[in-house]
Amino acid sequence: MSDWLRNTTREELEQRSRAGATATYIGSGTVLCRVLDEFGMFVPGADLSLAPHLILDGFWESWVTRAIAQFVKPGDRVIDVGACFGYFTLLLADLVGPTGRVLALEPMLPTMGLLERNVEINGFSDRCRLVMSAAGAKNGTGTMRFPISHWGSARMDGQPLLPRLGLERTKETSTPFASLDRMCAARFERKAPTFVKIDAEGSELAIWRGMQGIWKANKEMTVCMEYAAELGGDELVAELRSDGATVQIIDPLGDVVPFKSLGPMEMLWVTHG
């Protein structure tokens, strides 16, 4: 499946995914749907963030999907920080193939349960390591808070939710967090990954500070991470540049391009300068 994704346009990706999208309610608030015209995914019917797009369209963030599909190769070691239900985890697992490895981090217990099921039903258990943890600058335990109808918007340690979610009922849970440097030492046999995707609702700067060891160890590493102006994104970009990184963005077509200014939310493409 990954071959067609590596050679497609955003428009073709969306058309093929929509044509193949199907969904069935299987009880207990769960919907089974087909995404990217290939993968089966269990998603919570109550979620209003990712689930509606996966159920109706069969894809999520098609421009990011296309950029990742063009970059990640068979045999790569990759990390998915903020895996949620596993959309990008499944994509990465397919792209790296049986000789590659995926380390997927998801701190929420209900979401981790869906992630585990999604990896298993797609036959990727042999190449994926799933860890119920957040990533950060150091190791410890914190509080994760998430709006009950926006499962993809959880935040750590009392950070304010996005303004549009500020009035929504939330749940809280205690969760461990650790630096990517430590996780990679334990799970990649001290080999630095080739690609890291980070979507952590404002924790990107802390995660960056906790991965300096693996970043410096592999000059070929690429990091794809979310920039959100209202979640401290400008400080993140400034620190990336001060650390000597080249920062580009994924444009709406799914190409990696330089930028003159940043919109309110972007996906950054970070490489060694």
* Banded model confidence at residue 189, pLDDT cuts 50, 70, 90: low
Residue pair 144/156 in contact (Cβ under 8 Å)? The answer is yes
Residue pair 195/221 in contact (Cβ under 8 Å)? The answer is yes
Nearest C-alpha neighbor of 192 from the set 83, 82, 76, 74: 76
* DSSP assignment letter at 53: H
* Banded model confidence at residue 173, pLDDT cuts 50, 70, 90: confident
d(C-alpha 207, C-alpha 214), whole Å? 12
* Phi, psi angle pair for 79, to nearest 5°: -130, 135
Mean pLDDT of the chain: 90
Average pLDDT rounded to a whole number, residues 244-249:
98
Domain of 227, in residue numbers: 2-272
d(C-alpha 136, C-alpha 98), whole Å? 29
What confidence tens digit (pLDDT) does each residue in 62-114 have?
A: 999 999 999 999 999 999 999 999 999 999 999 999 999 999 999 888 899 99
Report pLDDT for 158: 55
What is the pTM assigned to this prediction? 0.93
Average pLDDT rounded to a whole number, residues 184-206:
85
Beta strands, E only, the chain: 23-27, 30-35, 39-44, 77-81, 101-105, 128-131, 134-135, 140-147, 155-156, 170-178, 195-198, 222-228, 245-250, 256-257, 265-272
Say which residues have a Cβ less than 8 Å from residue 5's Cβ, sequence separation at least 6: 13, 36, 65, 66, 69, 91, 95
Q: How many CB atoms lie within 10 A of CB 183?
A: 23
102, two tokens: 């995926």
* Banded model confidence at residue 191, pLDDT cuts 50, 70, 90: confident
Which CATH number characterizes residue 163's domain?
A: 3.40.50.150
Largest CA distance in the chain: 50
Residue pair 86/41 in contact (Cβ under 8 Å)? The answer is yes
Domain count of the fold of the chain: 1
Nearest C-alpha neighbor of 214 from the set 21, 78, 41, 34: 78
Q: What is the phi-psi region of residue 238: left when phi exceeds 0, alpha when psi lies from -120 to 50, beta otherwise?
A: alpha
